[in-house]
Structure 1
Amino acid sequence: MRELADWLQDAEVSMVIVGNLTPYKDLPAIIDAFTTHTRRARLLVAGPCRTPSLAEHLAAQERAGGGRIRLHLDRIPPEHVRTLYRAASAVLCPYRAESERAFFRHVLYPASGSTALASGTAVIAPDLSAIAEMTQGRRAWLYPAPTGAGPLLAAAESILPLCAALDSAPADASRQWRVITTTYERIFHQLAATPSTPRAEQPAVVGRPAHRLHRPAH
């Protein structure tokens, strides 16, 4: 487990998905979004997968990931989950919530998200009611479920190192505000570089500003 944590920490930005690897998490889509919209970040996908076709697809994505994707198809003991979360810059909690899975919008309460928040690690997840409630006031970036995580992952790759700098900075208000200002400038430039989509398809907000850049509660 230490080797996996070291692999995450060796990257400037790293993200992790831990838990049962099931079809309702739409893992192929989130991995595609990660490889398409990020350039240097690493992603660890760890947990048992009981769907052979999904496991094969994930393995193919790992091979095509240029060394930035790591697949670990074994169960992570609960006592080691926080080790991985603390080693990562962010925890991804992807879920599908369309058609027959629409009930997730109201009842989903992912244990991975609550554990990540307790570890002080940022959470990136779809903007579903239950997730929005559990992450209120915490460092969690939520993306519109129909749009997908791609644009937010691209922005997060730029912003997460600055969040780390803010966390490690002395408690000096002027320095913190300089870091926050730089962060928002990076957000602006990142979003400005994203190709626009027709207004009817364009999400009103990428993520939820109210949930961004909050220092973890201690």
Structure 2
Amino acid sequence: MTSPPTATPRQWVIATDYPRWPSPYFAHLHRYAPQTLPLTFCPDLASVSAIQPPGVLNLHRLKRLYHDASQGTRTPRAAAEFLARLADMRQAGWRVVWTVHNLKPIDGDAATGTDDIVTRGVLDLADIVLCHTNADSTVLRSRTDADVRVIGWAGLDNPTRPPGGAVSELMDHMRGQPLAFLLLGHITRYKDVPAAAATFLARTTRASLVIVGASRDPAISAALSRVVAGADGRVIWYPHRVPPELAGHLYAAADAAVCPYRTDGDYGFLSEVLHPSSVATATCYQVPVIAPDLPAVEEITRGRPRWLAPAEGGLGPAMAAAESTLTTLRHAVAPKARRPPSDSAHRWKRIGRIYQSLAAELLPVEPSTRAASGSPSHQDPTGEPRR
């Protein structure tokens, strides 16, 4: 007697080029997701739709999915094809979930009307929209009829290896300063780091600013280099990426984290929905934050040491206030020595449990499958063990 064929478990598929593109966000999500979450990663919609039976298509950052390789940019035609394929997949049985980091692309070229069309289209097609803060959920509920849910936020893990080389040198430099502010991350247009550095020089007198991150924009690099050259040593720039597993060492040596975000001109949408990963990371490392007073930033830093400035006016007032307060504290106590380790791990585990609960809701396991396998399968694209 032959056994009846068993159904293939339905998958929770994240459309991203991870792990070939080693995003710290997806690496942490993958690391801490429960083993019972039927999670896998695919680089594009064509490879997702090839998976059968249809499961959950989890969209995150969208811009790669309507990027026209022949023209080297996002185009109306590619956007229309992306939305048409998404609608077809939904018709074929895929459930669509969009984890919103920002309403539009924030790095590279400025957002255009094409990005507006994609945002509206995905919000119309999504079954569930996920976001990181309650502040973001309020805006999103005004833009979509989909079920909007908050998954929370997290940062980076504690360092997994000792510092060395440039990281050790940067730490020694920061520890040798009266006060050390750290601005860490990619140097991109939506942060306007040259303006933040110039403001720092104009509004502070004792602190030093250490900028750590690579720039792919020659104009930004040139502008920032000019600020550094005229800073008399109070601003230094290490123009390279620091591995995420070492970032915690730099935060441990910093008195405060500078987290600039633009909301002017083409970046006005960041005042509505924003996943401020630099703010989340600094907060998880218990480092005081200097940032614009945006709803998501206010929510993440609430009850923590912070200096927020009106988003439209630059970080000058917050930088000056931070320097004044931290100078007083420095003479009374060494706050950095008392910081606990990062609390990101338990935050990522909580996010993973929310995804697992959603998977159980959207991907009910058929009795025959449950009896045959005991639990949904998990596809691990990296082959690495998960904690």
| TM-score, scaled to structure 2 | 0.42
1:76 pairs with 210, 232, 242, which one? Answer: 242
> Which position in structure 1 is the counterpart of 2:232?
66
SS at the partner of 1:103? helix
Q: How does 1:30-109 map to 2 (within 5 A)?
A: 30-109=196-275
Q: Is the Cα contact below 8 Å between 1:82 and 1:116 reproduced in 2?
A: no
Could you say if the C-alpha distance between residues 99 and 57 of structure 1 is closer, same or farther in structure 2, counting changes exceeding 3 Å?
Answer: closer
Deviations 1:120-144 (A, max 9, x none): 1100000011111111111121100
SS at the partner of 2:323? helix
Deviations 1:174-193 (A, max 9, x none): xxxxxxxxxxxxxxxxxxxx
2:286 pairs with 101, 120, 123, which one? Answer: 120
1:110 pairs with 257, 264, 276, which one? Answer: 276
Q: How does 1:118-157 map to 2 (within 5 A)?
A: 118-157=284-323
Cα distance in 1 for partners of 2:226, 2:179 equals 23
Could you say if the C-alpha distance between residues 74 and 168 of structure 1 is closer, same or farther in structure 2, counting changes exceeding 3 Å?
Answer: closer
Q: Is the Cα contact below 8 Å between 1:13 and 1:41 reproduced in 2?
A: yes
**Runs of 5+ unmatched residues, structure 1:** 170-214
Larger-Rg structure:
2
> Which position in structure 1 is the counterpart of 2:185?
19
SS at the partner of 1:35? helix
> Which position in structure 2 is the counterpart of 1:162?
328
SS at the partner of 2:210? strand
Higher helix share: 1
Cα distance in 2 for partners of 1:115, 1:162 equals 25
Query: Once the 2 structures are TM-superposed, how far is the Cα of residue 155 of structure 1 from its aligned partner?
Result: 2.2
Cα distance in 2 for partners of 1:60, 1:168 equals 33
SS at the partner of 1:109? coil
Cα distance in 2 for partners of 1:107, 1:167 equals 37
Q: Is the Cα contact below 8 Å between 1:138 and 1:216 reproduced in 2?
A: no
Query: Once the 2 structures are TM-superposed, how far is the Cα of residue 216 of structure 1 from its aligned partner?
Result: 7.0
| TM-score, scaled to structure 1 | 0.74
Could you say if the C-alpha distance between residues 217 and 129 of structure 1 is closer, same or farther in structure 2, counting changes exceeding 3 Å?
Answer: farther
Once superposed, what is the RMSD of the aligned Cα atoms?
A: 2.0
Query: Once the 2 structures are TM-superposed, how far is the Cα of residue 162 of structure 1 from its aligned partner?
Result: 2.8
**Runs of 5+ unmatched residues, structure 2:** 1-166, 342-387
Q: Is the Cα contact below 8 Å between 2:214 and 2:240 reproduced in 1?
A: yes
Cα distance in 1 for partners of 2:182, 2:168 equals 14
Cα distance in 2 for partners of 1:155, 1:42 equals 14
Identity, % of aligned pairs? 38
Query: Once the 2 structures are TM-superposed, how far is the Cα of residue 168 of structure 1 from its aligned partner?
Result: 4.5
Deviations 1:19-55 (A, max 9, x none): 1100110112111110111112110111110101111
